[in-house]
Structure 1
Amino acid sequence: MTPEPRLRIAMQKSGRLSDDTQALLKRCGLKLNVSDRRLLAHVANMPIDIMRVRSSDIPGLVMDGVCDLGIVGDNTLEEAALERALMAQKSQYIRTTGLNFGGCRLSIAMPEGFDYQGIDSLNGLRFATTYPQLLNRFAKANGINIEFCLLKGSVEVAPRVGLADGICDLVSTGATLEANGLVEVEEIFRSKASLIQTVTALPAEKQAILDTLLPRIQGVMKAKESKYIMLHAPKDKIAQVSALMPGKETPTILPLAGRDDLVAVHVVATETFFWETMEQLNALGCNSILVMPIEKMMG
């Protein structure tokens, strides 16, 4: 008996993207059976397998067609694509959708006291980094010559022990740089997580699974960025109220029982809804203004 085709997704085994990825898949309705000791996790309610690996392995697994999909940081993805292209290996992939977690930046940082006068100040220096291809691309684009030493961890200590003049590493809050006496001087790449897909055509059975999963992922992403707003508004101020509502959706106007002067206004907002906007609505005579998170969206 031929086994049922199963979509295979590569994700980070542990680290900053692992928890967010698991949360995303669970919000998409996938029942995960994840164990720290197992690299392959099975989804109980859909024909999907989750391969849990190092982040640096995910791009190659997708580019080589071992996994159908992968969730990985753009920094890791771009570094791998540049390296594989340099080595004449497969480097093609489809960036199916950007995800709204895993935000960080790849930056150059120098020791406190370094007299930074612009990019030319970096010419001829040596940098410790985990991302040599992205660093080299930045250097070439800006016409400077640099050296680098490749480190897979503890990059921040390199200047202090005399291994390098500065570093090129991921920055989130900057607290680690400050703790090691470093100052961020140039941002060279901004990153979030992405869902990527192999360029190899999927069999019809796997494509059907993807066609179910992808709208769910996009719906979760859209819901996370949106708010549901409800309020009561004076009937004669609908035009002014609608003009203040953020987003592109047309507000829904509903009658209120026993009130001829007020109507209920409902809208999904995909932009930030500020306190100032609420105060302006209140000044127009609106009341019962509610701003609520949305768990799922579709369509």
Structure 2
Amino acid sequence: MNTLKIALQKSGRLSEKSLGILSECGIKLPDFKSKLKNTATNFPLEILFLRDDDIPKYVENGIVDIGIIGENEVLEQKRKVSVIRRLGFANCRLSLAVPKEAQYTGIQFFSQKKIATSYPNIVSDFLKKKQIEAQVVEISGSVEIAPSIGLADAVADLVSSGSTLLHNGLTEVEEILQSEAVMISNNTLQPEVAEILDALLFRIQAVLNSRENKYILLNAPNSAIKSITELLPGMKSPTILPLADSGWSSIHSVVKENEFWQIIDQLKKLGAEGILVIPIEKMVF
């Protein structure tokens, strides 16, 4: 029987999120603690737990078929792999930061400076694009300490909240790129394996759709139905059910979560009452 092989980060937040989305896809795994390889019990999927910087290489060489990794790692390594799905978690940015006492006046600040980073290729490409000549110093781990020990004048590092930079006396001044978790694939998948991948991607998309949308129920006077349905088009069209009270209906629809608060006041002005917003577990178009 053919099996789809996937590489995941063996520990950390990205690993937890990756296993979480597989679980939401209905894929069951035996106890994986202390294991570097595992096999799903109800889906043809085998998982290898690797260091994050090894995943692109394993995918490129066909040791595994796909992997979940930060986009920043894919861009840094420049391996011959394809990004096949953006996953919407593990969001961060790669930014340039300088000591807080530095007099930063713009990108030219970095001219002839030393910049410490774990992402020398991305940083070098960025500086070249900006026509800045600087020395990129590659280090792994504890990048933030480089200026305080005299190793570099500035750093380029991944930032989520920015608290780590602040704790090390650094100020974020330039964003190089935005990153999130992505699924990558090698470019030589066998047709049978590609079919399994399509089935997995279908499940993942249903999960991602559910995260972006909410199910909304509300009561409204019949005179407002046309205006409300224009605000809440749903997947195709809203469901409208008459209430026991004459002249009123219940409207059921789907709304994007990031749009709900923008339209809630309009719904209320149109006479909507008893508005309920409910999470969606899976959503298939």
Q: TM-score range by the shorter chain?
A: over 0.9
After superposing the two structures, state which structure 1 stretch, 270-279 or 234-243, moved more.
Answer: 270-279
Do residues 165 (structure 1) and 153 (structure 2) align? yes
TM-score (norm 1): 0.91
| Equivalent residue number for residue 15 of structure 2 | 18
| Structure 1 position 127, deviation (Å) | 1.2
Partner of residue 293 from structure 1, selected from 258, 279, 283? 279
Q: How does 1:72-91 map to 2 (within 5 A)?
A: 72-81=69-78, 91=79
| Structure 1 position 259, deviation (Å) | 3.4
| Equivalent residue number for residue 245 of structure 2 | 259
Partner of residue 228 from structure 1, selected from 215, 227, 241? 215
Q: How does 1:25-104 map to 2 (within 5 A)?
A: 25-81=22-78, 91-104=79-92
Cα distance in 1 for partners of 2:204, 2:236 equals 24
| Equivalent residue number for residue 263 of structure 2 | 277
List per-residue Cα deviations over 1:227-276 (Å, max 9, x = no partner): 1111111111112212333x663442322242331122111112524445
| Equivalent residue number for residue 130 of structure 1 | 118
1:297 counterpart letter in structure 2: M
Q: Find the residue that maps to 1:36 and give its secondary structure.
A: coil
Q: Find the residue that maps to 1:14 and give its secondary structure.
A: coil
TM-score (norm 2): 0.95
Do residues 268 (structure 1) and 250 (structure 2) align? no
Do residues 184 (structure 1) and 172 (structure 2) align? yes
1:19 counterpart letter in structure 2: E
Q: Alignment RMSD, CA only?
A: 1.5
Equivalent pairs: percent with the same residue? 40
Cα distance in 1 for partners of 2:45, 2:13 equals 23
Cα distance in 2 for partners of 1:195, 1:270 equals 24
Contact 1:251 1:265 in 2 (8 A): no
List gaps (5 residues or longer) in structure 1. 82-90
List per-residue Cα deviations over 1:62-110 (Å, max 9, x = no partner): 11111111101100111011xxxxxxxxx32222111110100000100
Cα distance in 2 for partners of 1:67, 1:248 equals 39
List per-residue Cα deviations over 1:158-212 (Å, max 9, x = no partner): 10011111110000000000000000011001100111111103242x2232122
Cα distance in 2 for partners of 1:129, 1:26 equals 34
Do residues 239 (structure 1) and 226 (structure 2) align? yes
1:259 counterpart letter in structure 2: D
Contact 1:250 1:267 in 2 (8 A): no
Contact 1:230 1:291 in 2 (8 A): yes
Do residues 209 (structure 1) and 196 (structure 2) align? yes
Q: Find the residue that maps to 2:147 and give its secondary structure.
A: coil
1:210 counterpart letter in structure 2: L
Cα distance in 2 for partners of 1:275, 1:56 equals 40
- Consecutive aligned runs of 4 or more in structure 1 exceeding 4 Å deviation: none
Partner of residue 181 from structure 2, selected from 170, 188, 193? 193
After superposing the two structures, state which structure 1 stretch, 133-142 or 61-70, moved more.
Answer: 61-70
| Structure 1 position 16, deviation (Å) | 2.1
Cα distance in 2 for partners of 1:190, 1:291 equals 30
Partner of residue 97 from structure 2, selected from 106, 109, 113? 109
